[in-house]
Amino acid sequence: VQIRNPYLLFIGDASDQLAAKTADGVAQWRRDWCAGQLRLPGCKADLGLPDKTLEQAAAEGVKTLIIGVANRGGKFSPNWVETLVKALELGMDIASGLHNKVQDIPEVAEKARQLGRQIHDVRHPTQAFEIANGVRRPGRRLLTVGTDCSVGKMFTALALEKEMRGRGMNADFRATGQTGILIAGSGVSVDAVVSDFVAGAVEWLCPANTPDHWDIVEGQASVLHPSYGGVTLALCHGSQPDAMVCVHEPTRPHMRGLPGRPVPGIRDTIAAHEAAARVTNPDTKGVIGLAINTHAMPEAEALAYIRRMEDEHGLPACDPLRTGCANIIDRLNTLF
C-alpha cells in the first residue's frame, strides 16, 4: 500500500520541535512531496514549510494529511478530530505514525469509510505475511545496523540512498519504522509484527529485484540489545544483506532505556551482525563502513574520532550529516 503524495504535514499543537520529529524527518527527506505544514493554535514547532489551511492544500492537490507529531498522553484532542474529518471531506487520505490508531476514532473511521478514503496507521501492520523461507533472491541489499537503538540507522539509510541516487545508482530506501514509512510512502513497522512473521515481512519488504538494484534497508535496534535483539535478528535474516553499515553514537553513557548497561563496542557489534547475516547470505561482505553520529561532539573532536574509527576498524567512516557518506559508497562500488 502506497501513501499518496503530495503531503500536508499536520503537527497539531506540538509542545516543542522534538514532538514534531516525525514530520521533521519527512520534511527533510521528502521536501518535494510536502506542500506545507498545518499547525493548530499554540504549536511550538516549525518545519520550515509554508503554513497552509486544509482548503489551500486541497486546492493544490494534496493527497494525504500526515500526522507527524507525538500526541500528548496518547489522547486525540477534539480539535484534532475536527481537522481530520475535514481533511477527509476535502478529499485527502490520512497517514499517522502514532501509537494510537486513527482508525479507532469512530467519527474519523466512519467518515473515511463513507467517503472511500484511506487511513494508514503505519505503526500497525494490517497485511498478513508469509513465514520467511530464507531462499536467496536476486538484487542487492544493504542493511544499516548499530550499537544501540536510536543512533541514526534511518538517517544513515536515507543518506546512503541519496548518495547512490545522486550517482545514478538504482537504489530504494526500505522503511521498517513509522517515520521511515511516512518518508518512503510504504514499508512495515517490523517491531509491531507478530514475532513468527518478522523475517517473512522483511523478505516481502525487499523482494527479488534486478542484479544492479540496491535496497537500502532501515535497521532497528541491535542483535546485542536485550529488549529488541530478536527484531534485529529477523531483519538480518530476512534482508540477507550483501553489505551492512554500522552506526554508532560515541557519547552515550549506556544503552537507551537501560541504565547500567554499557553500549557494546563497534567490534562486537560488527561480529554479531555479520554472524547473523551469514545465516541467509553466506557471501555477505559484512560491514563495509561506519556511520558515526557525532551530533553531540564539537567539529574537531568529531572529525578526529571518525578518523580514529577508520584506522581502528580498517573501514571507511563518516558522519552522514556532517561529512556525507561518499566514502562508503566508494567502498561499496569497489566491492560489488
User: Mask of contacts with a copy of itself, 147-186, x by CB under 8 A?
Assistant: ----------------------------------------
Q: Is 131 in the site for a copy of itself (CB under 8 A)?
A: yes
Cα distances (Å, whole numbers) of residue 80 to 40, 86, 132, 308, 326: 9, 10, 40, 49, 42
Q: How far is the CB of 292 from a copy of itself (least distance, A)?
A: 23
Q: Contact with a copy of itself (CB under 8 A): which of 53, 133, 251, 333?
A: 133
Quote the least distance from Cβ 236 to a copy of itself, whole Å: 8
Distance CA 182, CA 111 (A): 22
Q: Rounded CA gap, 257 and 261, in Å?
A: 9
**CB–CB of 88/80 below 8 Å?**
no
Q: Give min distance, CB of 226 to a copy of itself, in A.
A: 3
Range 218-257, binding a copy of itself (CB under 8 A): 223-224, 226-234, 237-238, 257
Which one of residues 53, 79, 195, 333 is an interface residue with a copy of itself (CB under 8 A)? 195
Q: Which is nearer to a copy of itself, 96 or 280 (CB)?
A: 280
Cell numbers that stand for 200 in this block: 517473512
Residue 277 Cβ vs a copy of itself, minimum distance, rounded to whole Å: 11
* Residue indicated by cell numbers 540477507: 240
Shortest CB 21 distance to a copy of itself, Å: 20
CB of 167 to a copy of itself, least distance (A): 32
- With b for 16 or more beta-carbon neighbours within 10 A and e for fewer, the 43-82 pattern comes to bebebebeebebeebbeeebbbbbbbbbbeeeebeeebbe
CB atoms within 10 A of CB 314: 7
Backbone phi and psi for residue 266, each to the nearest 5 degrees, phi listed first: -60, -40
Q: Choose between 63 and 237: whose C-beta lies nearer to a copy of itself.
A: 237
Residue 136 and residue 240: Cα distance in Å, rounded? 7
Provide the 3-class DSSP secondary structure of residue 202.
helix
Which of 112, 199, 263, 302 touches a copy of itself by CB under 8 A? Answer: 199
* Residue from 81, 115, 169, 192 binding a copy of itself (CB under 8 A): 192
**Coil vs helix vs strand at 13:** coil
Identity of the residue, 81 or 192, whose beta carbon is nearer to a copy of itself in the bound complex: 192
Residues forming contacts to a copy of itself in the complex (CB under 8 A) are: 131-135, 190-196, 198-200, 223-224, 226-234, 237-238, 257-258, 260-261, 272, 275-276, 279-280
